[in-house]
A and B are shown apart, each in its own frame.
Chain A
Amino acid sequence: MLGADPARRPVIVGVHATEQALSLPGRTAHDLALEAALGAIRDAGLDPSDVDGAQLDWSGPGGAPGEGASWARMLNDLAWTSDSFLDNAGVRGLLKACAAIASGLVDTVVVGGCRLVSRGADNSPVGAGLPMEFADVWGSYVVAQFALVAARHMHLFGTTSHQLARVAATIRNNGTTNPEAMMFRRGPYTVQDVLASRMIATPFHLLDCCIVGEGGAAFVVTTAQRARDLPQPPVAVLAGAMEYHRVAYADPPIYDEVGQIGRKAAARVFGRAGVGVQDVDVFSLYDANSFEVIRQLEALGLCDEGEGGPLVDSGAIELGGKHPVNPDGGCLAHAWNGTQQLSLRVIEAVRQLRGTAVHQIPQARLAAVANAGSGAQHYELALLGAL
């Protein structure tokens, strides 16, 4: 477990996801962030005055937009804040909170909020319009950058569009039967449905890509000692690691560098945790697109490089499979909402380990949760465990 002092080992004790939808016109990012933070604190059985750390998005109005210390006015006596948007979400946010807690800088941190990216002036895809001198002039954007990694993988290993579509159909069908998912009741989908949807950037069809919408999420991390008298069964953060390469979306993702991103993080995580990836009961992975799941099966060590497609063909990632992935519907069908979909991946893992997930994997004791991937050129991995 993380941390030398058993009393200070970090555990997750509260989670909250707001409504997730293609559009929430009646709500603001700030309103959703406040709901997420207070909801997670309430779920933990805590009062806002019990929180002394905030890694939360602050978009205003009020305060200083982008400056996390603005939360000090609402959450009194803060000892720990964070400004960077990716430090306020998901596994990166979790691991930074864990480091701060284990070292004694702070006791109880709420991580999350809401950061909407889908409300642009036009309907351009995510990542378009950012001034990236050597990328945007070529019409490059997030989906296309991930596609450049997938295309190279298919060239090297014979991975097929059918295998990508099987990932998409499997995870989308998990979302189809999850009432919290943006794509609830939109399916079911077959592999043929995915292959018949319009092409976005080869090899990705529309249904190979995640669903972009709006929503917030947050979770609370505290010490094992503090968790003893709290109502929820604590979820331990057993190990974690992060991995970084080039500048996301500005530099092209080179397969030789990022095609197996996550391998170093996995070696560190499983080396420290004393368990193997084959021991993990459920995976909550970043499925920005269908290919990223195939790639992660390899990088995490569930199979050799190039064998991710055949592993998907075997049914391994399905709810009843050997390595179930994203029972909630993931980014493909539950939500991709800006940055807090990263926190939704953590929340699904926590719910699985509490035994309260919508699509509960029986006797789940170990969960791997990961954020971002090859096109993003960064990767964050945590191993969570039921105590």
Chain B
Amino acid sequence: MTARPVPLPTSLSAPFWEATRRGQLMIPHCARCDRWFFTPELACPGCLERDWTYREVRGTGTVYSVTVVHRAPSPGFDPPFALAIIELDEGAMMLSHVVGVPPEEVRIGQRVRVRMRELTAQITLPEFEIAPPKA
């Protein structure tokens, strides 16, 4: 393995990747129990409702945890990089990178906002950059 792994969209995830290509971050939302969740599952992890939908989120959130990865799992990455769990303002948590600053400057609790980066013609990645503190 030499290149960075490229996601292979499934029936569950295809709308997520179609949205990022359009520049939108869309996250599964269950109207029945009003829950945002990530990663997508066949049924809502809160109430097992199958009829959930992807909805656009604001793309803002907070760094819940972060590790600076010095040993990448494969070539195709450029370590060190800031691998973070982002808590979206709507409530779901997702893995991503915080970019645009030296990775060791990324702190838990920092405000971030999404920034799209084209990885391949098919896949655009939702990365995050530091945002001004919440007003």
Are A136 and B73 in contact (CB-based, < 8 A)? yes
B74/A133 in contact, CB under 8 A = no
Query: Is A128 touching B8 in the complex (CB atoms < 8 A)?
Result: no
Which residues from A are CB-within-8-Å of B119? 137
A144, B83: Cβ atoms closer than 8 Å: yes
Tell whether A251 is near chain B: CB-to-CB under 8 Å: yes
Q: Mark B54-68, 1 if CB is under 8 A from A, else 0.
A: 000000000011111
Q: Name A138's contact: one of B9, B13, B95 (CB within 8 Å).
A: B95
**Alpha-carbon distance A151/B104, docked complex (angstroms):** 12
* Residue A27 lies at the interface, judged by CB distance under 8 Å to chain B: no
Given A152-B65, A201-B71, the answer on whether A139 and B77 have CB atoms closer than 8 Å is yes
B85 A133 Cβ-Cβ under 8 A: no
Contact for B74 among A129, A143, A152, A199, CB less than 8 A: A129
Q: Are A148 and B66 in contact (CB under 8 A)?
A: yes
A255 at the interface (CB under 8 A from B): yes
B10 in the interface (beta carbon within 8 A): yes
Q: Which of B4, B67, B71 contacts A151 (CB 8 A)?
A: B67
Chain B residue, CB-CB nearest to A155 = B108
| Pair A254/B85 contact, Cβ less than 8 Å | yes
Instruction: Please tell me if B97 contacts chain A, counting CB pairs below 8 Å.
Output: yes
The 8 A CB mask of A105-135 against B (1 = contact, 0 = none) is 0000000000000000110110111010111
Contact with A along B67-108 (1 / 0, CB 8 A): 111111110010111011100000001111100000010001
Question: Please, which residue of chain B has its CB at the minimum distance from the CB of A206?
Answer: B71
Does B121 make an interface contact (CB < 8 A)? no
Residue among B38, B79, B85, B94 having the largest count of chain A Cβ atoms under 10 Å: B85
Shortest C-beta distance, A251 to chain B (Å), equals 6
> Looking at chain A, what size class is its interface with the partner chain?
35 or more
Closest chain A residue to B38, Cβ basis: A134
Residues of B within 8 A of A135 (CB): 95
Residues of B within 8 A of A252 (CB): 85, 93-95
Assuming the A-B contacts A125-B71, A198-B70, A201-B67, are A137 and B85 also in contact, with contact meaning beta carbons closer than 8 angstroms in the complex?
no
* Residue contact B71 to A254, C-beta cutoff 8 Å: no
Contact: A137 with B4, CB < 8 Å?
yes
Q: A125-B73, A139-B73 are in contact. Are A148 and B1 (CB under 8 A)?
A: no
CA–CA, A252 and B87, complex, Å:
11
Q: What residues of chain A lie closer than 8 Å to B47, measured between beta carbons?
A: none
B7 within 8 A of A: yes
Are B39 and A133 in contact, with the CB atoms below 8 A? yes
Within 8 A of A (CB), among B1-45: 1, 4-10, 13, 38-39
C-alpha gap A151/B95 in the complex (Å) = 15
Contact B7 A134 (CB under 8 A): yes
Q: Which of A128, A133, A134, A148 contacts B67 (CB 8 A)?
A: A148
Contact A128/B71 with A137-B7, A149-B65 known, Cβ cut-off 8 Å: no
Q: Which residues of A contact B5 (CB under 8 A)?
A: 129, 131, 136-137
A49 interface hit (Cβ, 8 Å): no
Specify which chain A residues have a CB less than 8 angstroms from the CB of B123 in the assembled complex: 137
- A302 vs chain B, min Cβ distance (A): 24
Residues in A with CB closer than 8 Å to B94 are 134, 252
Judge whether B112 is part of the interface by a CB distance below 8 angstroms: no
Verify if A141 is at the interface (C-beta below 8 Å from B): yes
Q: How long is the Cα–Cα vector from A128 to B84 in the complex, in angstroms? A: 18
Q: Which B-chain residue is minimally distant from A247 (CB atoms)?
A: B39
* Whole-angstrom CA separation of A199 from B69 in the bound complex: 8
Distance, CA A147 to CA B69, complexed state (A): 9
Chain A positions 176 through 204: 1 when the CB is less than 8 Å from some CB of chain B, otherwise 0: 00000000000000000000001111110
Please list the 10 inter-chain residue pairs (A to B) with the smallest Cβ-Cβ separation, ordered nearest first.
Answer: A128-B73, A147-B67, A141-B73, A152-B65, A136-B5, A202-B68, A148-B65, A199-B70, A155-B108, A139-B77
Residues on A lying within 8 angstroms of B by beta carbon are: 121-122, 124-125, 127-129, 131, 133-141, 143-144, 147-149, 151-152, 155, 198-203, 250-252, 254-255
**Could you list 18 examples of A-B contacts with CB < 8 Å?**
A124-B1, A125-B71, A134-B39, A137-B5, A137-B125, A138-B95, A148-B65, A148-B66, A148-B84, A149-B65, A152-B65, A199-B80, A201-B68, A201-B71, A202-B68, A203-B67, A250-B39, A255-B65
**Known pairs A128-B74, A151-B108. 5 more at Cβ < 8 A?**
A122-B1, A133-B13, A152-B108, A201-B67, A202-B68
Q: B residues within 8 Å of A by Cβ?
A: 1, 4-10, 13, 38-39, 64-74, 77, 79-81, 83-85, 93-97, 104, 108-109, 119, 123, 125
